[in-house]
Structure 1
Amino acid sequence: MLRPRIIPCLLVHRGGLVKTVQFKDPKYVGDPINAVKIFNEKETDELTVLDIDATVNQAEPDFRLIANLAAECRMPLCYGGGVKTADQARRIIGLGVEKVAMSSAALERPALISEAAGEVGAQSVVVVLDTRTLGARGHEVWTHNGQRRTGRSPVEVAQEVESLGAGEIVINSVDRDGVGKGYDLDLALAIRKAVQIPMTFLGGAGSLQDLGRLFETCGVVGAAAGSLFVFKGPYRAVLINYPTPSSKDDLIARTLNKP
């Protein structure tokens, strides 16, 4: 039976692990490989690693880093950053990664989604939609680390990428990134109702209760977070952490109303 997933999201910048606030001011928080080792010990459901430099710098994926991450990682791994071709996706999967995430390139050339799905299988193709809130005008998808507008709504784009063969969609809130005030539940529910493929939501989680509210609202989805799993306490001391298996099971059972 499918279960909700709790997913740490690690950002790589200049080879180091960082955390941003609203996609700005990256703060160094450690070594990516060391973080993977700790999450292995904590029996993490899944891990997402995003290279936030690659697309902006028009660089290809860092295959050496990917190989090192995959060799160390004992849970399903999703990697994104700089993926522009189906051949790159195939090479990443060949290194031992379970899922390849793409964003800007897939939105600029949607055929890439179908090409990658044909090369590695739809279950391994993840499309990340970075969203911003525009007040009364609703939400809009942005690209290139939240720097370029698309003029399109997340629901519309989510439906399109599903039709093109994506196996999963990640909705990443630029406005809520690193803020810790909870997920955008209205947007999450709207997209949950609009598409059938697996979804993960990222941006805003400041506590396990925020994850619980997402599960209560949307059911079986992925709850991803960055700050929640790399900082601890009101002074945001760097400490890699993750719910214990028992507390995770209790959270999921409670929020989905299962005894």
Structure 2
Amino acid sequence: MLRTRIIPCLLLKDDTLVKTVKFKNEQYIGDPLNTCRIFNELEVDEMMILDITASKRAAEPNFKVLHSLVSECFMPLSYGGGITKLSQAEQLFYTGFEKIILNSILYSEPQIINNIAKVYGSQSVIASIDVRKGMFSGYQLYSHSGSTKQKPRILEWAKQLEDLGAGEILLTGIDNEGTWKGFDTNLIKMVSDTVGIPVIANGGAGSIDHIADAVRNGHASAVSLGSMVVFQNKGMGVLVNFPDKRKLYSVLAK
């Protein structure tokens, strides 16, 4: 059995890193290159970069910054934000990214998944799903960094993305993102049990126990970490770090 992947997720805004809470209240974290160098030293297995403003501004990926990141990082990288066409995905792969992450464009041009997967393989495409829990209407899909509500039903949408050729799903619970209170395990389980591809749980991790909960009870195949790897602790200052691997995998192995 493969061990659970634990993936630092960095939020890029222009040429700096920030961290959000429920997709709002951006806090400056630091320089992307310096942060990547620290994760090199911490020997993380892979890393995820998400540009949180590109789709909202209808801007393409910041290839200058991304090229610099690839040149500094020793681990496999995935990137999402502002990707709207195959040529941009091709440029990202050529730059050195192993996977690309698609979200907002999928609601208008879902076939882009198949177009990319046919050339580079399904393992290179991560379909991102951002979800809020409505007061009366259950779970609702959102795009463009949580600013635009979308109509598809979440489980039907997840299955459609799989059928189109996505190799993984990045599932973010907006209500939990940046809160340190744990994942929306019910949401993760719903999606994980519906699709046959790996689901990366994102949004809410505040402890190793939260990670274990997403894996054991949510059936997540991987977990993405934001606040836990850029802050000392909840309410404390910036400190790029990674959970103790021996403790982490000891808890996950129970």
> TM > 0.5 between the two?
yes
Question: 2:124: which partner in 1?
Answer: 124
Report if the CA contact (8 A) 2:127-2:170 is conserved: yes
Task: Give per-residue Cα distances to partners, 1:47-77, cap 9 Å, x unaligned.
Answer: 1100111111111111111111111111121
Report if the CA contact (8 A) 1:80-1:101 is conserved: yes
Task: Give per-residue Cα distances to partners, 1:173-208, cap 9 Å, x unaligned.
Answer: 111111111100001011111001111011111111
2:181 is aligned with 1:181 = yes
- The amino acid across from 2:5 in the alignment is R
Question: 2:70: which partner in 1?
Answer: 70
Question: 2:53: which partner in 1?
Answer: 53
Report if the CA contact (8 A) 2:61-2:81 is conserved: yes
Distance 1:144 1:220, change over 3 A: closer
Distance of 1:21 and 1:80 partners within structure 2:
19
Task: Give per-residue Cα distances to partners, 1:69-109, cap 9 Å, x unaligned.
Answer: 11111112111111001121111011111100010012221
CA drift at 1:8: 1.0
What secondary structure does 2:146 align onto? coil
Distance of 1:30 and 1:107 partners within structure 2:
32
Alignment of 1:194-233 (within 5 A): 194-219=194-219, 221-233=221-233
Structure 1 stretches of at least 4 aligned residues deviating more than 3 Å after TM superposition: none
What secondary structure does 1:135 align onto? coil
TM-score (norm 2): 0.96
Distance 1:58 1:220, change over 3 A: closer
CA drift at 1:220: 5.6
2:167 is aligned with 1:167 = yes
2:252 is aligned with 1:252 = yes
Q: Comparing 242-251 with 176-185, which one deviates more in the overlay? A: 242-251
Question: 1:143: which partner in 2?
Answer: 143
Report if the CA contact (8 A) 1:36-1:72 is conserved: yes
Report if the CA contact (8 A) 2:16-2:31 is conserved: yes
What secondary structure does 2:123 align onto? helix
Distance of 1:4 and 1:69 partners within structure 2:
25
Distance 1:135 1:45, change over 3 A: farther
Distance 1:73 1:37, change over 3 A: same
Report if the CA contact (8 A) 1:2-1:220 is conserved: no
Distance of 1:32 and 1:97 partners within structure 2:
15
CA drift at 1:137: 2.0
What secondary structure does 1:91 align onto? helix
What secondary structure does 1:238 align onto? coil
Alignment of 1:14-163 (within 5 A): 14-163=14-163
Q: Comparing 215-224 with 46-55, which one deviates more in the overlay? A: 215-224
Report if the CA contact (8 A) 1:42-1:244 is conserved: no
Distance 1:90 1:234, change over 3 A: closer
TM-score (norm 1): 0.94
Structure 2 residue ranges without an equivalent (≥5): none
What is the count of residue pairs matched by the alignment? Answer: 254
Distance of 1:194 and 1:168 partners within structure 2:
13
Distance 1:242 1:40, change over 3 A: same
What secondary structure does 1:58 align onto? coil
CA drift at 1:167: 0.7
